[in-house]
């Protein structure tokens, strides 16, 4: 990617599907992704990757085995590797994700929601 700035709203405007992240930046072996989420995702974990969810707009609940994180705009959570979690969004949420390159969205869970080819915007 050229050394230029990225405007998140402009990138969010380029797609409308849910649970299908797009790559908007790469650094230090990590990827910056954005996604629109709506509805319930699947319970899953990432055996090797910590994953950060930063809410850009909306309200994202991340269900854990023992509690629920309720994230609003300007809030983030880091889900450590190995921790089961299920993102849930009653209304559409825009999130930024920060995780190692190649992280699979559904982790170790078989699901039709798996996205193997993440597009770059």
Q: Which is nearer to a second copy, 37 or 51 (CB)?
A: 51
Give residues with Cβ within 8 angstroms of 26, minimum separation 6: 1, 32, 101
Q: Which is nearer to a second copy, 19 or 99 (CB)?
A: 99
56: contact with a second copy by CB under 8 A: yes
Tokens of 31: 């990827």
Q: How far apart are CA 37 and CA 115, in angstroms?
A: 14
Provide the mask over 2-31, with x wherever binding to a second copy is found by CB under 8 A and - wherever it is not. Answer: -xxxxxxx---------------xxxx-x-
Q: How far apart are CA 31 and CA 41, in angstroms?
A: 21
- Would you tell me which residues interact with a second copy (CB under 8 A)? 1, 3-9, 25-28, 30, 32, 49-52, 56, 64, 69-71, 74-80, 83, 98-100
């Amino acid at each position: 990617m050229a050394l230029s700035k990225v405007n998140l709203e402009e990138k969010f405007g380029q797609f409308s599907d849910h649970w299908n992240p797009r790559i908007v930046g790469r650094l230090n072996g990590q990827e910056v992704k954005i996604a629109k989420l709506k509805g319930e995702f699947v319970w899953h974990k990432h055996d090797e990757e910590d994953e950060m969810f930063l809410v850009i707009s909306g309200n994202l609940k991340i269900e854990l085995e023992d509690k629920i994180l309720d994230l609003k705009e300007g809030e983030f959570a880091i889900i450590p590797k190995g921790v089961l979690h299920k993102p849930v969004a009653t209304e559409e949420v825009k999130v930024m994700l920060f995780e190692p390159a190649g992280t699979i969205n559904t982790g170790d869970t078989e699901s039709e929601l798996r996205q193997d080819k993440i597009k770059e915007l």
